[in-house]
Amino acid sequence: MNANILQTPIDYLKGVGPNRADLLRKELGIHTYQDLINFFPNRYLDKTRFYKINELQRNSAEVQVVGKITHIKSVEQKRGKRLVADFVDETGKMELVWFRGQKWIRENLKINTPYVIFGKTNWFNGLFSMPHPEMELVEEYKKQLRTAMQPIYPSTEKLAKAGISNRVFHKIMQQLFIETKGKFYDTLSEELTSELKLLPKAQAVFNVHFPQNQELLAQAQFRLKFEELFYIQLQLLIKNMLQKQKIKGYVFEAIGENFSEFYNNHLPFELTGAQKRVIKEIRADLGSGAQMNRLLQGDVGSGKTIVALMSMFIALDNGFQACLMAPTEILAIQHYNGLVELCKNLDTSIYLLTGSTKTKDRREIHEKLENGEIDILIGTHALLEDKVKFKNLGLAVIDEQHRFGVAQRAKLWRKNQVPPHILVMTATPIPRTLAMSLYGDLDISVIDELPPGRKPIKTVHRYDSNRLKVFAFIKDEIQKGRQIYIVYPLIQESEKMDYKDLMDGYESIAREFPNEQISIVHGQMKSDAKDYEMDRFVRGETQIMVATTVIEVGVNVPNASVMIIESAERFGLSQLHQLRGRVGRGAEQSFCILMTGHKLSKDSKTRLETMTATNDGFEIAEVDLKLRGPGDIMGTQQSGVLNLKIADIVKDNDVLKLARHHAMQILKEDPSLSLEKNKVIRFTYAQLAKHKNIWNYIS
Ligand code: ADP
Ligand code: MG
- C-alpha dihedral (314, 317, 319, 323), degrees to nearest 10: 40
Q: Please name the residue whose Cα sits nearest to atom 25 of ligand 1.
A: 451
Q: What is the DSSP string of 606-644?
A: HHHHHHHH---HHHHHHHHHHHH-GGGSTTHHHHTGGG-
Q: What pLDDT sits at residue 430?
A: 72
489-517: average pLDDT: 81
pLDDT band at 551 (very low <50, low <70, confident <90, very high): low
55-67: average pLDDT: 83
Does the pLDDT at position 589 exceed 80? Answer: yes
580-600: average pLDDT: 91
Residues of the chain with CATH 3.40.50.300: 257-286+303-426, 458-614
Closest ligand, as measured to the CA of 331: 2
Phi, psi at 232, each rounded to 5°: -70, -45
Q: What pLDDT sits at residue 1?
A: 45
Distance 399 CA to ligand 2 centre (A): 7
Closest ligand, as measured to the CA of 303: 1
Of 369-378, 526-535, 593-602, the poorest mean pLDDT is in 526-535
Q: State the SS3 of 255-307.
A: CCHHHHHHHHHHCCCCCCHHHHHHHHHHHHHHCCCECCEEEEEECCCCCHHHH
Does the pLDDT at position 623 exceed 90? Answer: no
Q: What pLDDT sits at residue 699?
A: 33
3 state DSSP class of 662: helix
Q: Please name the residue whose Cα sits nearest to atom 27 of ligand 1.
A: 451
Does the pLDDT at position 238 exceed 90? Answer: no
Distance 38 CA to ligand 2 centre (A): 45
- Give the span between the Cα atoms of 268 and 437, in whole angstroms: 37
- CA 190 to centroid of chain Cα atoms: 33
Q: DSSP character for 375?
A: S
pLDDT band at 409 (very low <50, low <70, confident <90, very high): low
Q: What pLDDT sits at residue 680?
A: 94
545 neighbors 515 (Cβ within 8 angstroms)? no
- Name the β-bridge partners of 293: 422
Pocket test for ligand 1, best of 263, 269, 401 (most atoms within 8 A of CB): 269
Closest ligand, as measured to the CA of 301: 1
- Give the span between the Cα atoms of 82 and 50, in whole angstroms: 27
279-285: average pLDDT: 95
pLDDT band at 173 (very low <50, low <70, confident <90, very high): very high
Q: Using alpha carbons, list the distances in angstroms from residue 517 to 276, 545, 582.
A: 42, 9, 19
Closest atom, ligand 1, to C-alpha of 585: 11
With b for 16 or more beta-carbon neighbours within 10 A and e for fewer, the 25-46 pattern comes to bebbebbbbbbbbbbbbeebbb
Closest ligand, as measured to the CA of 305: 1
Distance 300 CA to ligand 1 centre (A): 9
Helix axes 329-342, 304-317, angle to 10 degrees: 70
332 neighbors 338 (Cβ within 8 angstroms)? no
Q: What is the mean pLDDT of the chain?
A: 86
pLDDT band at 698 (very low <50, low <70, confident <90, very high): very low
48-145, what's its fold? OB fold (Dihydrolipoamide Acetyltransferase, E2P) (2.40.50)
Pocket test for ligand 1, best of 262, 278, 297, 302 (most atoms within 8 A of CB): 302
Q: What pLDDT sits at residue 638?
A: 42
User: What architecture (CATH level 2) is domain 458-614?
Assistant: 3-Layer(aba) Sandwich (3.40)
Distance 156 CA to ligand 1 centre (A): 52
467-489: average pLDDT: 94
Q: Please name the residue whose Cα sits nearest to atom 9 of ligand 1.
A: 303
Q: Please name the residue whose Cα sits nearest to atom 18 of ligand 1.
A: 303
Closest ligand, as measured to the CA of 342: 1
Q: What pLDDT sits at residue 214?
A: 81
Pocket test for ligand 1, best of 305, 330, 454 (most atoms within 8 A of CB): 305
pLDDT digits (tens, 9 = 90+) for 139-159: 888 776 555 678 889 888 888
Closest atom, ligand 1, to C-alpha of 300: 3
CATH 3.40.50.300 fits 257-286+303-426, yes or no: yes
- C-alpha dihedral (15, 19, 20, 24), degrees to nearest 10: 140
Handedness of CA 473, 478, 482, 487 (dihedral sign): positive
Does the pLDDT at position 451 exceed 60? Answer: yes
Closest ligand, as measured to the CA of 309: 1
Q: State the SS3 of 82-100.
A: EEEEEEEECCEEEEEEECC
563 neighbors 483 (Cβ within 8 angstroms)? no
433 neighbors 622 (Cβ within 8 angstroms)? yes
Q: Please name the residue whose Cα sits nearest to atom 24 of ligand 1.
A: 451
Q: Using alpha carbons, list the distances in angstroms from residue 437 to 235, 275, 401, 642, 643.
A: 11, 25, 18, 11, 12
Tell me the CB-side half-sphere exposure of residue 180, using CA atoms within 13 A: 29
Q: What pLDDT sits at residue 637?
A: 42
- Ligand 1 contacts (CB < 6 A) are 269-272, 275, 298, 300-306, 427, 451
Name 288's Cβ contacts closer than 8 Å, sequence gap at least 6.
Answer: 244, 249, 251
Does the pLDDT at position 224 exceed 60? Answer: yes
607-630: average pLDDT: 86
Q: DSSP character for 254?
A: -
Phi, psi at 584, each rounded to 5°: 80, 25
With b for 16 or more beta-carbon neighbours within 10 A and e for fewer, the 490-519 pattern comes to beeeeeeebbebbeebbeebeeebeebebb
Distance 349 CA to ligand 1 centre (A): 22
162-170: average pLDDT: 87
- Give the span between the Cα atoms of 353 and 335, in whole angstroms: 12
Q: What is the DSSP string of 135-150?
A: EEEHHHHHHS---SEE
Name 514's Cβ contacts closer than 8 Å, sequence gap at least 6.
Answer: none
Q: What pLDDT sits at residue 102?
A: 82
pLDDT digits (tens, 9 = 90+) for 297-340: 888 788 999 999 999 999 999 999 999 999 888 889 889 999 99
459-471: average pLDDT: 95
Phi, psi at 179, each rounded to 5°: -65, -35
Does the pLDDT at position 554 exceed 70? Answer: no
Distance 307 CA to ligand 1 centre (A): 9
pLDDT digits (tens, 9 = 90+) for 646-682: 888 777 888 988 999 999 999 999 999 999 999 999 9
Give the DSSP H or E segment for 235: helix 214-246
pLDDT band at 514 (very low <50, low <70, confident <90, very high): very high
Closest atom, ligand 1, to C-alpha of 270: 23
Closest ligand, as measured to the CA of 453: 1
* End-to-end alpha carbon distance in the chain: 30
Does the pLDDT at position 635 exceed 50? Answer: no
Q: What pLDDT sits at residue 274?
A: 96
Exposed/middle/buried for 428, CB within 10 Å: 0-12, 13-18, 19+? buried
Helix axes 602-613, 617-628, angle to 10 degrees: 170
Closest atom, ligand 1, to C-alpha of 272: 23
Distance 379 CA to ligand 1 centre (A): 20
Other residues' Cβ atoms within 10 Å of the Cβ of residue 550: 17
Helix axes 214-246, 201-209, angle to 10 degrees: 120
Does the pLDDT at position 296 exceed 70? Answer: yes
541-555: average pLDDT: 79
Distance 286 CA to ligand 2 centre (A): 22
Other residues' Cβ atoms within 10 Å of the Cβ of residue 269: 11
pLDDT band at 548 (very low <50, low <70, confident <90, very high): confident
Q: What pLDDT sits at residue 147?
A: 57
103-127: average pLDDT: 89
Q: DSSP character for 9?
A: B
Distance 620 CA to ligand 1 centre (A): 21
- Give the span between the Cα atoms of 339 and 87, in whole angstroms: 82
Distance 538 CA to ligand 2 centre (A): 16
321 neighbors 375 (Cβ within 8 angstroms)? yes
Distance 323 CA to ligand 2 centre (A): 15
Does the pLDDT at position 450 exceed 70? Answer: yes
Q: What pLDDT sits at residue 490?
A: 74
Distance 400 CA to ligand 2 centre (A): 8
Closest atom, ligand 1, to C-alpha of 308: 6
Radius of gyration, CA atoms only, the chain = 32
- Name the β-bridge partners of 51: 65
594-598: average pLDDT: 94
Residues of the chain with CATH 2.40.50.140: 48-145
3 state DSSP class of 575: helix
| Pick from 553, 504, 500, 548: nearest CA to 525 | 548
Q: What pLDDT sits at residue 337?
A: 93
Distance 304 CA to ligand 1 centre (A): 7
411 vs 663, higher pLDDT? 663
Residues in the chain: 699
595-617: average pLDDT: 93
User: 3-state SS of the chain: helix, strand, coil percent to 5?
Assistant: 45, 20, 35
pLDDT digits (tens, 9 = 90+) for 334-364: 899 999 999 999 999 999 999 999 999 999 9
467-488: average pLDDT: 95
- Give the span between the Cα atoms of 569 and 582, in whole angstroms: 19
Q: What pLDDT sits at residue 264?
A: 93
Express as a percent the part of the chain with pLDDT over 90: 49
Q: What is the DSSP string of 146-214?
A: --SEEEE----HHHHHTT--HHHHHHHHHHHHHHTTT-----S-HHHHHHTTPPPHHHHHHHHHS-SSH
